[in-house]
Amino acid sequence: MNTILHIVNSSLASRSAPNPLELMAETDAILFIEDGVYSTLPTAANQSLLAKTTAGLYVLIPDLQARGFEPQGTLDFVNAVDYDGFVDLTAKFDVCMSW
């Protein structure tokens, strides 16, 4: 079975497209980039949505900072990565899928 890194560039709350959380396997992960970083902020809606997944959750630090946020301001179970971490994630997973 292929493992998938889902790269999400828009907030899950504002998506009209399918929600990647509904299509993920336990071995998959999500990396939030661009406006997708808003999904990692500690709101009740984000907490409720993301706490349901057993997949790895990551956020790109430069995109957080570009929007005025810091990694310590995200949900506790989201892992912050820099560009090197982004590259490491793409190498770790068999497939990368952008949403």
Report for 15-24, 27-36, 50-59: range of highest mean pLDDT: 27-36
pLDDT for res 82: 98
Question: What Å distances lie between residue 73 and 9, 34, 41, 48, 69, CA to CA?
Answer: 19, 16, 7, 17, 7
At residue 16 the predicted structure's pLDDT band, cuts being 50, 70 and 90, is low
Residue 50 has pLDDT above 90, yes or no: no
| pTM (global) more than 0.85 | yes
d(CA 32, CA 39): 8
Q: What is the pLDDT of residues 56-74, one digit of tens each?
A: 999 999 999 999 999 999 9
Best CA proximity match to 90, nearest among 10, 7, 2? 7
Tell me if the domain spanning 4-10+22-98 has CATH number 3.40.1260.10: yes
